[in-house]
Amino acid sequence: MRFSRYSYSIQLCLTASIAASIAFAAAVSAEENGDWQHFGSDLGGSQYSPLQQIDRSNVAELEPAWTHRSGDYKDGVTSLQVTPIHANGALYYCTPMNRVFALDPATGEERWVFDPHTGGRNGEPVVEVERIPLTCRGVAYWEDADAEKSDDVCSRRVFKNDFHGHVYAIDADTGQACEDFGAADGHPGYVSHFDHEGYGEGIRFMSSPPLIVGDMVISGSGSDDGLANAADGIVRAFDVRSGAVQWEFNPIPEDMRNVTGAANVWSTMSADPVNGLVFFPTTSPSTDYYGGGRKFDVPLSDAVVAADAETGEVVWSFQTVRHDLFDYDLPGHPLLVDINKDGERRAVAIQHTKMGFIYVFDRLTGEPIFPLTEMDAPASDVEGEIAAATQPVSTSIATFARQTLDRESLFGLTPLGRSWCQKQFDTMRYDGLYTPPSSQGSLLYPSALGGGNWGGAAYHEESNLLIIKASNLATRLKLVPKPESENGDASVDYLTRPLKGTPYNIEGEVFVAPSGAPCTPPPWGTLTAIDMDSGEQAWQIPLGQVKRFGLKSPESWGSPNIGGPIVTAGDLIFVAAALDEKIRALDIESGEQLWQAKLPVSGTAVPMTFMGEDGRQYVVIAAGGTERAATGAYDAIKAFALPKSLLAD
């Protein structure tokens, strides 16, 4: 059943008191202890910390505190994009090799390591599957309401997703598998999405952390979006103790589940426990780039979905892209924050997108806070395809990424390079934003890399500013009819691959010159502050530099980026993300850089901060690079803090 906004308000009254006590306890913990217990700091994913020991006056004094190395990396293969969490007096993080580490927060020393492939309770593997290198962006933490009174094993748990569709439960104190979790399904220590119907074919994997709401662990999934009838993008809530399924959310219409799939939640999620809501940022239905086999409405794809936390029933939703042909997945969780708007404090959900648009909704009703309009969109010229005639766009709040190109604005390191880019531009179809893929070859800008991407936004409540990063890159996309003899099994990368179950394959690449420099004009990466009252841009700066052939580009050119910012009550922004092997601290009011530190490789992740038991505020970043940007791989978790001598003074 789909709840109306009015009947739902009645239910809120019944559940709010229980949920409020849970949320209040979590808020007090974060406020007093400086815990960073979730990927985005709080359940709402604000990426904000109330800590202010490090501020504008002393941030320049930050120095390395410790470094932890897991050994879990392989050049050209792994990406370390994790954000550790701070809970239970420990730091917890996962590696690309499917392991989980618990560290001493003040020293970085290992307390325990969980390895499901080798480290079961009796020396037996927890799971008999291949170890596949995969991005792991984080873990989740839960503790029993009576945990302080109990020494029971697994009264505090760490949860981790993996590439095989498993969710592991780990004792937070010892690193042992929690054998009650999944025991009823015959595999103590984990539950599996493959124990339940997928309504489609292919892989089901998770690279982002699960979400803890009350006594449920909520897990999204990834699907093979190059497969017409991919597994549906089902989100499941499991009981934290037994692993029993509490509810399922399936974005695919029931009568079309044997035709299309995906529309999954591969990225991070957020929750408002006071109002009993969980929020899903869903993706495109399968296949990406060709929708001739799914010419029907899939309204919960590419949508902000607010669901009842107890049942998984949809309360409200808003589709940001209709009939997605662009891989314009929603790349990250809606930020559930309270903004100052028109003289009032408004509880909102802020959704950033790959297109560079920001959508802001009333958190309970889904009403747009900044008005939306309809934009005419280009038609498809591909046989069997019908593109959406219009798209809903948010033009009353500033965009944060460049959205249009023209021939004269194209970039080149040399006149010859620029001329090459212009000649290539002339061969492609380009009708502005939402130009669909074509057999001629089309230019997609912003690309499916963004614009915005995962972890890309943070809200600073004191200044009422949204801080958001962007990449400004274009991709070339071409739909190629399949030869009758082709089996369609070969994939080159995420842009060039078969679209199984369709008449086409997709061929694509980032639009760069032979030198490797983007044909799109710089800056190639930016960080922007947006006033959430007026909707206007407060400031925008280039973010990072590009290093190639031993040389660095000018700072004004910026850098493509992966990861995102955090903000603190010390009026600071901490961000790495760029490809120049640095973490930076910026002034929230101006974007002025106040501090930077060298990293061993790029910090393609979201930082975090916490207050240690030694009385020092730490800032932590994963520095492991990413294979997608050929940064080189590494395995460092690096912590920074103010000198003890400075604090003693």
Quote the tokens at residue 346: 């408004």
Residues 540 and 526: beta-carbon distance below 8 Å: yes
Greatest Cα pair distance in the chain: 76
Q: What distance lies between CA 387 and its chain's CA centroid?
A: 27
Ramachandran angles phi, psi of 572, nearest 5°: -125, 150
> Residue 52 has what pLDDT?
96
Geometric angle at alpha carbon 120, from 117 and 121, rounded to 5°: 175
Quote the tokens at residue 420: 């090459």
Quote the tokens at residue 603: 């910090």
| 3-state DSSP of 426-475 | HHCECCCCCCCCECCCEEECCECCECCCCCCEEEECCCCEEEEEEECCCE
Residues 87 and 37: beta-carbon distance below 8 Å: yes
Beta strands in 209-272 (DSSP E): 211-213, 216-219, 222-223, 235-239, 245-249, 270-272
Beta strands in 256-384 (DSSP E): 270-272, 277-281, 303-308, 314-319, 335-341, 344-352, 358-362, 373-376
Q: Report how many helices (DSSP H) and strands (DSSP E) the chain contains, helices first.
A: 3, 42
Q: Alpha-carbon distance 247 to 148, whole Å?
A: 29
Quote the tokens at residue 615: 């009385």
Q: Alpha-carbon distance 262 to 288, whole Å?
A: 10
> Residue 16 has what pLDDT?
39
> Residue 149 has what pLDDT?
62
Residues 636 and 598: beta-carbon distance below 8 Å: no
Q: What CA dihedral angle connects 20, 23, 25 and 26, to 10 degrees?
A: 180
pLDDT along the chain (649 residues), means of 10: 33 40 46 81 98 97 98 92 97 97 98 87 75 92 82 93 95 96 96 95 94 98 94 98 98 97 97 98 97 97 98 98 98 98 98 98 98 97 96 96 96 96 98 97 96 96 98 96 66 83 95 94 98 98 85 91 97 96 98 98 97 96 86 94 87
The single-letter code of the amino acid at 626 is T
Residues 450 and 331: beta-carbon distance below 8 Å: yes
Residues 436 and 378: beta-carbon distance below 8 Å: yes
Which of 542, 395, 535 is closest to 472 using CA atoms?
542
Q: Under DSSP, is residue 295 helix (H, G, I), strand (E, B) or coil?
A: coil
Cis peptide before 523 (omega within 30 of 0): yes
Q: Alpha-carbon distance 180 to 283, whole Å?
A: 33
Quote the tokens at residue 586: 């910026």
Q: Alpha-carbon distance 290 to 288, whole Å?
A: 6
Quote the tokens at residue 301: 């794809």
| DSSP β-ladder status, 344-352 and 358-362 | antiparallel
Residues 566 and 619: beta-carbon distance below 8 Å: no
Q: Please report, for the chain, the start and end positions of each structural domain, with discontinuous segments joined by +.
A: 34-84+526-649
Residues 117 and 102: beta-carbon distance below 8 Å: no
| DSSP β-ladder status, 63-69 and 636-641 | antiparallel
> Residue 617 has what pLDDT?
97
Which of 368, 385, 482 is closest to 442 using CA atoms?
385
Q: Alpha-carbon distance 167 to 141, whole Å?
A: 13
Count the Cβ atoms, other than its own, within 10 Å of residue 570: 22
Residues 6 or more apart in contact with residue 397 via CB below 8 angstroms:
358, 360, 370, 530, 535
Which of 523, 249, 481 is closest to 384 using CA atoms?
481
Q: Alpha-carbon distance 127 to 120, whole Å?
A: 8
Q: Alpha-carbon distance 543 to 559, whole Å?
A: 6
Residues 224 and 194: beta-carbon distance below 8 Å: no
> Residue 649 has what pLDDT?
60
